[in-house]
Amino acid sequence: MLIGDRKQQSYEPRIVAFLCNWCAYAGADLAGTQRLSYPPNVRVIRLMCSGRVDPGFIIEAFLEGADGVIVAGCHPGECHYEHGNRLAERRMTTLQHLLGFIGIEQARVRLAWVSAAEGRKFAQLIETTVEEVRALGPFQQFPRRAP
Amino acid sequence: MKTSMGSGSTRIPLRQQVEELCEQSIGTCYQCGNCSSGCPMGPWMDALPNQLIRRLQLGLEDTTRFASPWVCASCFACGVRCPKGIDVPRVMEALRVVGLRSGEDHIGPHTIEKKRLSQLPQIALVAHMRKATG
Amino acid sequence: MNNRVGVFICHCGKNIARTVDVEALRKEAAGLPGVEWAEDDMYLCSDPGQQLIRERIAEQNLDAVVVAACSPTLHTTTFRRAVESAGVNPFRLEIANIREQCSWVHPGTAETTHKAAALVRSGVEKARRTQPLEPIHVGLQRAVVVIGGGVAGIQAALDIAEAGYPVHLVEQGPNLGGRMAQLSETFPTLDCSSCILTPKMVEVSHHPLVTIHTLAEVTDVEGSIGNFQVRIRQQPRYVIAEGCTGCGDCVPACPQVVPGEFDRGLGARKAIYIPFPQAVPFTYTLDREHCLNQGPLIICDRCAQACEPRAIDFDQQPSEELVEAGAIVLATGCDTLPLSHFREYGHDRHPDVIDGLMFERLLSASGPTHGEIRRPSDHRVPKSIAFVQCAGSRDPERGKAYCSQICCMYTAKHALLYHHAVPDGKVYIFYIDIRAGGKGYEEFVERVRAEDGINYIRGKVAKLIPKDGKLEVWGVDTLLGEQVKVEVDLVVLATALVPSQGIQELARVARVAIDGDGFLSEAHPKLRPVESQTRGIYLAGTAQGPRDISATVAHAAGAASKVLGLFSHDELVEEPTIARVNEALCRGCSFCVSVCPYDAISLHEGTAHVNETLCRGCGACTPACFAAALGPRGFEDDQILAQIRALAC
Amino acid sequence: MTSLAYYPGCSLKRFASGCEIAGLEAARRLGIELVELERWNCCGTVFSMSSGERMHHLGSLRNLVRVQEAGYPEVVTMCAMCQNTLRQVNNEVRGDGDSLAMMNRFMDEEPAYRGEVEVLHYLTLLDRLGSEAIAARVERPLTGLRVAPYYGCTLVRPPSAGIDDPEDPNIMERLLEALGAKVVRDPMRVECCGAYMGVSKPGTINVRASAIHGSARNSGAEALATMCPLCAHNLDAVGPAPDEPALVVFYFTQLVALALGAKPEQCLAATQRVDPRPLLSTKGLLEEPQP
Ligand SMILES: Cc1cc2nc3c(=O)[nH]c(=O)nc-3n(C[C@H](O)[C@H](O)[C@H](O)COP(=O)(O)OP(=O)(O)OC[C@H]3O[C@@H](n4cnc5c(N)ncnc54)[C@H](O)[C@@H]3O)c2cc1C
Ligand SMILES: Cc1cc2nc3c(=O)[nH]c(=O)nc-3n(C[C@H](O)[C@H](O)[C@H](O)COP(=O)(O)OP(=O)(O)OC[C@H]3O[C@@H](n4cnc5c(N)ncnc54)[C@H](O)[C@@H]3O)c2cc1C
Ligand code: SF4
Ligand code: SF4
Ligand code: SF4
Ligand code: SF4
Ligand code: SF4
Ligand code: SF4
Ligand code: SF4
Ligand code: SF4
């Protein structure tokens, strides 16, 4: 069995992470270079800037089977594109309010600032997110699309 | 002079006590001395305002033993000129309050001559009493 | 959608293969929709590895490639070159990061291989949706506008012109030189300022590739890197530059006496004047504001009568010129906080309280006192001077929070020069800390400290009191813990360095950012200190922050080298991964316009338009568009959504 | 006639009565009615600056409540210290709703203070009228009288309670010029006279007074003008060291009343130690104004 049938396994949360190219993605690479270990539940999509993340992507991820989503970019004031991360922050805050409104736990969506030097922070971010999302159980608020 | 910076006491440290009373952040002082340069009562002080602040930065508990806060006329000149925005007169007031709370007496009514007492304007007396009693 | 994707999986020796089951991964990949070929190799980045990819592209007629290996930051260029040489568009390469973000951070379990498979799947889904992209080629105007004619502007202009490119040097004042022209001698070497600056000014003015615009300002900047259109507004000089021989015959004829700006009011000039004898260009200037002839009415023409070459023209009008340039250098320099700022020091009411630049003029051989130090009130030689450092600097409450960096040094210089001129004079330097961080600087200050008669007193001055023709200085010696009161003949304030006036307006026009203190913002404080945040616009000298002459010159040379780097290409080749508008979908709502950090989007006839040289492909505009009408190439919505689908399950 | 609430404070009723009598006379002549509050108490004199001693502000607050209840939006003070203390307390409770609520609870016998009263110094009031309006009412211009305004501390510091720039105030200068006086800008005009330190350290006051008188004299002044009873006491009643000459010390209000045509005996205070009459007489300022 290569691609696990989730029903047969004990529940392993699936996290999709959107990382900006310059800070968070480089931070994730650094975690690798430093051989830090963190749970394999996270899958990364590299974007140039956290400002590229459309709130629709996050909904889509939940519809497709994710149990949690991380958006990570450069620290405030250090955005490679001046203020893309501020845009991301604004959009994510709005989205989180919206999700809260329809009863989705806010802990399933996490916005974080990770610099290219923060490999350890990235690994910890994954660890805590996986734990929190695991505690919340599988995401069931939306009907999943058939795989 | 040997200066010990540790605090063996279990009371609230003096610096913290003063910072709470005066609502000023003692740590931002960079010891430029501007407060002391212009202090009208400087000649009568046993430690200049910047020195008191320095002692507080180091947490020296004996800072309350200096007479300077009782010599301070609350003229506000130092506070107006502090480049770091520290309201030094408030620090002085806080030191007075700490002293008063530990039971010091700075009124000394007997030291004032009767004759002068009648000549002083009301505000001088009231102000003095207020400063000396908290 | 393309369906001839090749997947290449790297073992990286054992780095990947130790934890990821490469064979299982290959099988999995081979079965994915759209995948024509899947293969693994020991070291893909090696020459044989690249050769393998090239061969398979040819054999299998692949049109997109996924490399599952290390992080894309490592070998994107390598693999792009490899696929390109085999005929696949380099933007049709995707890299699945199964080393840094998988094999190195997870144990050798099925879940790790499972994750690697998901990453490959995601790469394939994206690769299938990629389009061939071509780099954007933009023409390059190889000319530069340098704004500000101080030492920074002069240096940048010379470096660029020497490399063979035309420069327009725009100076708002009547002559070049800036602050440095006003200085006497310069720390730490005590070179005479005009002696080292004048040859540079002459050189720049004679350079065949440099066009000097004095009394000129930049009023508008259009375009972007490689192709700016710069509007230069020329104020009238009322003296025809080609006619004026610099004889100076006009000056004695003029009845109007005006305080001279160059001498900071310590000396006088006429309404027709040249600021200083070494001025470049050596053309006189008629200051219409102080001339008797206001407006068109000519009631005095004595200078014109005296001028034999007939160089005076009262009818000159402002003019404008539009210059094409590939790059712009901002070198607008600095000013100092005005004396009127210092109310506790009597602000500008006591004539014998002066600032450092005024003292420079008193020291200067060509200054109002011919280099003799005489105080303004009664022209006597001061027998004692107090220098007050950090006047307005390091004072977040009432001045500037920053350290002005140069005043510790020039105060030491002033004290030294004064002491040499008046050996029995007394000097008191009131300071908080001495900052002498440059090469040879501490040694210089030490030399000054060691001089007899120079007292360094640690404590800030609270107040100055004029008293019997002297000034009483209220200070403190914080090291002794005693108040200090001294009476002196002259007080020199080391006033804070501030950006030049008009910088805000220029920054707005040129669309560059300024910081909270009004200095121009660099792109990165450490790694890109001479670039502004707007591409193609560079910063030089004190316009970016306080610094001395040597640092200014180094900064300006850095800006020039950035310009030359830009000009070393035949044309600008821009990454094609920028935003593109689908005009059929755009509703012209302009939501995207306000979001773009680079002002790259504008509306033309109701449709958004992306400027290709300004856009950097961040993609921030895409989520703002409710019509799904624009997106950055290489990171389009459909690609990302496909990746999400591949990863989430 | 404009009518405004007026808070005198204790010193003006006793020690500094000369200041008040002249001030009220000047106001009358300018068409301003200053209505003394029916009940008032001590302003507290000094503003307690420590977070633990806020209860000391109750006295000031009570006075502000009385202004509020009398229906006046503003209250005028003449004493510099009163205006300073009232202003600082007012600023504090306005900036801090919790503290206002707490103080209101303590003053349970009074209506709650809403934080809307403005505290106004007499000088600010005159300045509002404007130099020109005042100049127009001058009947006895103070021509030739060289006066150095002396602000001291509480009129200008801290800035939040000051009536003008803390380092370089000009309000008295402006008004004195309107009255026709020759204004002397003395650099010591915002330096402390020693304040209440005279009570416990009498010697300090002579030193301070010497410095202030000396500086004003050097700047060419014949008289000082002040708005604070404590300053007046220190500079006049105590004054410089006995062997040093002392200038005449006026309450500013006395000069205003005199210039507006009040009779000299109305505006010169019996308490002035240095008799101002010889000086005024050399300037012809004791004579009846020419109509
Ligand atoms: C009192 C004093 C003493 C000093 N002594 C020394 C010393 O001994 N040694 C040392 O190394 N450094 C010294 N310095 C520092 C030195 O003067 C500066 O580092 C140097 O002059 C900065 O050069 P600049 O070209 O950046 O700016 P500037 O010299 O200020 O030149 C800027 C030029 O740009 C022009 N300009 C401004 N705005 C515009 C505009 N909008 N359009 C067109 N033109 C514009 C200005 O007119 C000016 O000519 C001293 C500085 C001061 C104030
Ligand atoms: C403790 C400390 C903390 C610092 N913190 C900061 C900070 O917070 N912020 C900051 O801005 N700066 C900081 N700096 C300063 C900063 O490190 C330096 O400014 C910077 O690294 C200098 O770079 P460099 O390339 O000039 O020299 P280096 O970094 O020294 O590089 C020189 C290189 O040349 C090589 N080399 C030497 N000789 C030869 C030779 N003969 N042939 C071939 N190669 C040779 C050396 O091996 C070295 O790799 C700090 C410095 C120190 C010591
Ligand atoms: S003026 Fe302010 S910063 Fe300077 S020594 Fe005094 S308290 Fe410290
Ligand atoms: S308030 Fe006190 S310490 Fe400050 S200047 Fe005045 S007298 Fe000195
Ligand atoms: S391509 Fe990357 S993963 Fe493969 S051998 Fe080279 S470095 Fe290692
Ligand atoms: S007289 Fe004419 S030529 Fe001579 S300096 Fe004046 S303007 Fe120039
Ligand atoms: S026209 Fe007259 S006033 Fe004007 S510059 Fe010439 S000589 Fe001077
Ligand atoms: S260089 Fe020296 S004088 Fe200038 S601001 Fe910095 S510390 Fe103060
Ligand atoms: S947001 Fe979309 S629809 Fe609106 S102007 Fe921009 S591209 Fe057009
Ligand atoms: S991709 Fe970024 S830089 Fe390009 S137009 Fe959109 S927001 Fe601007």
The 10s digit of each residue's pLDDT in B5-59 is: 555 555 789 999 999 999 999 999 999 999 999 999 999 999 999 999 999 999 9
The 10s digit of each residue's pLDDT in A29-62 is: 999 999 999 999 999 999 999 999 999 999 999 9
| Cα gap D211→D191, rounded to integer Å | 10
What local confidence, expressed as pLDDT, does residue A2 receive?
39
Q: How far is the CA of C77 from the CAs of C43, C44, C578, in angstroms?
A: 16, 13, 18
Residue B2 scores a pLDDT above 60: no
Is residue C292 one of the residues assigned to a domain?
no
Chain B residues touching residue C475 (CB < 8 angstroms): 33, 37
Residues C505 and C492 in one domain: no
Residues C430 and C579 in one domain: no
Give the containing element (helix H, strand E) for C443.
helix C441-450
What local confidence, expressed as pLDDT, does residue C95 receive?
98
Residues C188 and C326 in one domain: yes
Residues B114 and B94 in one domain: no
| Cα gap C411→C406, rounded to integer Å | 9
| Ligand 5 center–CA C607 separation, angstroms | 45
Is residue A6 one of the residues assigned to a domain?
no
Is residue C243 one of the residues assigned to a domain?
no
The CATH number of whichever domain residue A32 belongs to comes to 3.40.50.280
Is residue C608 one of the residues assigned to a domain?
yes
| Cα gap C416→C273, rounded to integer Å | 33
Residues C176 and C109 in one domain: no
What local confidence, expressed as pLDDT, does residue B101 receive?
87
| Among C183, C76, C130, C140, CA closest to C417 | C183
**How much of chain C exceeds pLDDT 70, in percent?**
100
Is residue A8 one of the residues assigned to a domain?
no
| Ligand 7 center–CA C238 separation, angstroms | 11
C168: which strand partners?
Answer: C145, C211
Reading the block at residue D71, the tokens are: 């229906």
The answer to whether the CB of C392 falls within 8 A of the CB of C349 is no
Residues B111 and B66 in one domain: no
Residues C77 and C87 in one domain: yes
Section C616-644 average pLDDT = 94
The 10s digit of each residue's pLDDT in A84-136 is: 999 999 999 999 999 888 888 988 999 999 999 999 999 999 999 999 999 99
Task: Name the E strands within C225-291.
Answer: 227-234, 257-259, 268-270, 272-273, 285-286
The CATH number of whichever domain residue C584 belongs to comes to 3.30.70.20
Q: What is the mean pLDDT of chain C?
A: 95
The ipTM (two decimal places) reads 0.85
Reading the block at residue C266, the tokens are: 């310590």
Given C479, C498, C517, which residue is the final one in a domain?
A: C498
Residue C456 scores a pLDDT above 70: yes
Q: Looking at the complex, does the CB of residue A31 fall below 8 Å from at least one CB of chain C?
A: yes
Residues B17 and B82 in one domain: yes
Section D144-158 average pLDDT = 97
CATH for the D2-122 domain, from 1.20.1050.140, 3.40.50.1000, 1.10.275.10, 3.20.20.70? 1.20.1050.140
Residue A67 scores a pLDDT above 70: yes
Instruction: Quote the number of domains for chain C.
Output: 4
Residue A6 scores a pLDDT above 70: no
Q: Which residues line ligand 4 (CB under 6 A)?
A: B 39-41, 49, 72-78, 88-89, 92; D 192
Is residue C525 one of the residues assigned to a domain?
yes
Residue D97 scores a pLDDT above 50: yes
The 10s digit of each residue's pLDDT in D192-218 is: 999 988 888 888 999 999 999 999 999
Residues B85 and B117 in one domain: no
What local confidence, expressed as pLDDT, does residue C442 receive?
97
Reading the block at residue C54, the tokens are: 């090239």
Within 10 angstroms of residue D30's Cβ, the number of other Cβ atoms is 17
What is the full DSSP assignment across chain D? -EEEEEE--HHHHTTTHHHHHHHHHHHHHTTEEEEE-SS-----SS---SGGGGGGGHHHHHHHHHHHHTT-SEEEE-SHHHHHHHHHHHHHHHH-HHHHHHHHHHTTTSPPP-S--EEEEHHHHHHHH-HHHHHHH-SS--TT-EEEE--TTTTT-SGGG-SS-SSS--HHHHHHHHTT-EE---TTTTS---TTHHHH-HHHHHHHHHHHHHHHHHTT-SEEEES-HHHHIIIIII-S-TTS---EEEEHHHHHHHHTT--HHHHS-TT-SS-SHHHHHHTT-SSPPP-
| Ligand 8 center–CA C401 separation, angstroms | 11
Residues C37 and C73 in one domain: yes
Q: What is the mean pLDDT of chain D?
A: 92
Confirm or reject: Cβ of C256 under 6 Å from ligand 7: yes
Residues B111 and B98 in one domain: no
The 10s digit of each residue's pLDDT in C233-286 is: 999 999 999 999 999 999 999 999 999 999 999 999 999 999 999 999 999 999
For chain D, the domains span: 2-122, 140-282
C387: which strand partners?
Answer: C429, C492
The CATH number of whichever domain residue B77 belongs to comes to 1.10.1060.10
Given C498, C513, C541, which residue is the final one in a domain?
A: C498
Residues C405 and C531 in one domain: no
The 10s digit of each residue's pLDDT in C516-529 is: 999 999 988 899 99
* Position in ligand 9 atom list of the atom nearest CA C591: 1
What local confidence, expressed as pLDDT, does residue C316 receive?
95
Residue D223, burial from CB neighbour count under 10 angstroms (0-12, 13-18, 19+): buried
Is residue A145 one of the residues assigned to a domain?
no
DSSP state of A138: S
Q: Residue A81 belongs to what domain range?
A: 13-134
Is residue C524 one of the residues assigned to a domain?
yes
Q: Is C384 helix (H, G, I), strand (E, B) or coil?
A: strand
Is residue C271 one of the residues assigned to a domain?
no
Q: Residue B131 belongs to what domain range?
A: 107-134
Name residue B10's amino acid: T
Residue B66 scores a pLDDT above 50: yes
User: Would the CA dihedral through D250, D253, D254, D258 be positive or negative?
Assistant: positive
Residues 6+ apart with CB under 8 A from D155: D80, D83, D84, D121, D123, D162, D163, D164, D169, D227, D228
| Cα gap D227→D132, rounded to integer Å | 22
Instruction: Quote the number of domains for chain A.
Output: 1
Residues B12 and B62 in one domain: yes
- On the CB side of C570, how many CA atoms lie within 13 Å of its CA? 1
| Cα gap D172→D156, rounded to integer Å | 12
The CATH number of whichever domain residue C544 belongs to comes to 3.50.50.60
Rg (CA), chain A: 15
Closest residue of B to C485, CA-based?
B37
Task: Name the E strands within chain A.
Answer: 15-20, 42-47, 68-73, 109-113
Residue A143 scores a pLDDT above 80: no
Section D160-181 average pLDDT = 96
Residues B89 and B24 in one domain: yes
| Cα gap B67→A48, rounded to integer Å | 64
Residues C163 and C230 in one domain: yes
Q: Among residues 572-591 of chain C, which lie with CB inside 8 Å of chain A?
A: 577
What local confidence, expressed as pLDDT, does residue A101 receive?
86
Residues C125 and C205 in one domain: no
Cis upstream peptide for C281 (omega within 30°): yes
The CATH number of whichever domain residue C55 belongs to comes to 3.40.50
Q: Residue C37 belongs to what domain range?
A: 5-133
The 10s digit of each residue's pLDDT in C118-146 is: 999 999 999 999 999 999 998 999 999 99
- On the CB side of C265, how many CA atoms lie within 13 Å of its CA? 10
Is residue A3 one of the residues assigned to a domain?
no
**Pairwise CB contact (< 8 Å): C619 & A44:** no
Residues B115 and B69 in one domain: no
Q: Which ligand is located closest to the Cα atom of residue C272? A: 7
| Cα gap C395→C494, rounded to integer Å | 13
Given C532, C548, C567, which residue is the final one in a domain?
A: C567
Within 10 angstroms of residue B46's Cβ, the number of other Cβ atoms is 12
Residues C73 and C109 in one domain: yes
Name residue C564's amino acid: L
Residue A5 scores a pLDDT above 70: no
Is residue A139 one of the residues assigned to a domain?
no
Judging by DSSP bridges, how do beta strands D182-183 and D146-149 pair with one another? parallel
Q: Is C583 helix (H, G, I), strand (E, B) or coil?
A: coil
The 10s digit of each residue's pLDDT in C236-250 is: 999 999 999 999 999
Which fold, D140-282?
A: Rossmann fold (3.40.50)
What local confidence, expressed as pLDDT, does residue C640 receive?
96
What local confidence, expressed as pLDDT, does residue A8 receive?
45
Residues B73 and B31 in one domain: yes
pTM attached to this predicted model: 0.87
DSSP state of A11: P
Residues B98 and B111 in one domain: no
Q: How far is the CA of C350 from the CAs of C273, C339, C489, D211, in angstroms?
A: 28, 10, 11, 20
The 10s digit of each residue's pLDDT in C13-42 is: 999 999 999 999 999 999 999 999 999 999
Residue C148 scores a pLDDT above 90: yes
pLDDT classification of D44: cutoffs 50, 70, 90: confident
The answer to whether the CB of C142 falls within 8 A of the CB of C53 is no
Reading the block at residue A63, the tokens are: 């519809």
Closest residue of C to D190, CA-based?
C344
Is residue A64 one of the residues assigned to a domain?
yes
User: Would the CA dihedral through D142, D145, D146, D151 be positive or negative?
Assistant: negative
